[in-house]
Amino acid sequence: MTRPLITLEEHWYSKAVFDSFDNALKKGIEKWPGAIERLLDAGDLRLKEMDLGKVSLQIISHCAAEDPSPEVCRAGNDQLAQEIAKSHETSTRFAGFAVLPMRDPEAAAKELERAVKKLGFVGALVDHKTAHGNGFCEGNEYDVLWRKAEQLAVPIYLHPSWPTEKQFQQAYAGNYSPTAAGTIGGAMFNWHSEVGHHVLRLYAAGVFDKFPKLKIIIGHFGEMIPYMLDRIREQDHRLGKTGRTFSEVYDENIWITTSGVWSLDPMRCILANTKIDHILYSVDYPFTMNERGLEWFQELEKSGLLSEEDLALIAYKNCEKLLGVKAPTQD
C-alpha cells in the first residue's frame, strides 16, 4: 500500500492543558498503558509511531476535558503551534486542531479565529459537552461559534466527553462494578450515542439552517448515526420546522471518521448510506495504536468493498479537500 494516510482524531496535551486537570482525570488517563508519555510528546516518539502505522500527516488535537479556560486554551494552542513549527519534519507531518473554551461561546469563537488566522490551524476538536447547564451546544448562545466556523470555512470535530458523576450514578451504575459502569458510560457505548444525540439536537434546533455551510466531524464510524439513519429519516418530520431533511444535513454538513473502530461490518453499513467523500480515515492515537489502524485499512483494501479510487479518498484525499492540507510525498 503506497498511498499516504492522514489521521484526524489524534491526541496530545500541552503543559497548560494537562496541568489544569485534577488528579482524578490524570489517573483515569493512566488506565491506558503508556498514554501519558505519548500524549505529552509531539516529537520523536510520535513520529516513530506514525511511521509504524504508515501515517503521513497527523492532525493533532487536545483530548480536552473539564472546560479549560480561555487562557489555558490560548496557551495550549500556542504550544501546539510551536511544536508543529519545530522542524521541517514536524511542519510537514503535523497540523493542528484548536482546543476551545466551550463554556464561553464568544471566547471560543475568538480563539478559533486566532488559531486559524494566526497559528495556521485547520479547525477545532472539542469535547462535545461542557460541564455547565445541560452541557449541549444547540442554544442560541453558541451561534457566535458556529457562525465563526462557517465564516472561516473550517470544521468543528465533536469529540466524546465523560458523563458527570451524577449522570454516571443515575444512568450507568447498577448491579455490577464501578469499572463496568464507567465502561458502559464511556468508551463502550455512551460516549458514542451521546455525540450522535448532540448532532440531532443541533439539527432540531435549526443550527444547520442558520449556518448551512457549517462543517461538523464526528468520529468512531459516525457515533451511531449511520446505523440509525433510516429510523432518523422516518422521524425527522416530528422535530418541527427545519429547512432541510436530516438526510440533506447528513450529506452536506457531516463528515465521519473511522477512529478506534476496527471492523469491516460497520463499514459495510456506512458505504451503503454515507457519501464516500464524507468518510475519513483516523486512528484515535494514543488510545489506539497506529499499527492497528494500518492493519484494518489493509483488511479494507483486501475486502474488495472499495475501488482504488475510493480507498484513496478515505485514506487522504477527502481530508486534503476538507482541511486544505497536503499529505507529504511518499518515499
- Matching residue, cell 473502530: 261
Provide the whole-model pTM. 0.95
Rg (alpha carbons) of the chain, rounded to whole number = 19
Per residue in 118-140, pLDDT (tens digit) is 999 999 999 867 655 568 899 99
Phi, psi of 131 (to 5 degrees): -95, 10
The pLDDT, as a whole number, for residue 167 is: 78
The alpha carbon of 191 is separated from its chain's Cα centroid by a whole number of angstroms, namely 12
Average pLDDT over residues 225-236: 95
The pLDDT, as a whole number, for residue 22 is: 75
CATH number (1.10.274.10, 3.90.600.10, 3.40.50.300, 3.20.20.140) of 6-323 reads 3.20.20.140
The pLDDT, as a whole number, for residue 81 is: 98
Per residue in 297-306, pLDDT (tens digit) is 999 999 999 9
Q: CA-CA distance, 83 to 94, in Å (whole number)?
A: 9
The pLDDT, as a whole number, for residue 330 is: 61
Domain locations in the chain?
Answer: 6-323
Per residue in 132-170, pLDDT (tens digit) is 556 889 999 999 999 999 999 999 999 988 777 777 788
Spatial contact of 217 and 8, defined as CB atoms under 8 Å apart: yes
Prior bond of 178 cis (ω within 30°): no
For the chain, give the percent of residues with pLDDT over 70. Answer: 96
What angle do the packed helices 290-303 and 264-273 form, to 10 degrees?
60
Q: Tell me how crowded residue 13 is: count the other CB atoms within 10 A of its CB.
A: 26
Instruction: Spell out the SS3 assignment of 243-304.
Output: CCCHHHHHHHHEEEECCCCCCHHHHHHHHHHCCHHHEECCCCCCCCCHHHHHHHHHHHHHHC
Per residue in 45-79, pLDDT (tens digit) is 999 999 999 999 999 999 877 689 999 999 999 99
Spatial contact of 247 and 235, defined as CB atoms under 8 Å apart: no
Position 183 pLDDT exceeds 90: no
The alpha carbon of 46 is separated from its chain's Cα centroid by a whole number of angstroms, namely 19
Instruction: Spell out the SS3 assignment of 137-164.
Output: CCCHHHHHHHHHHHHHCCCEEEECCCCC
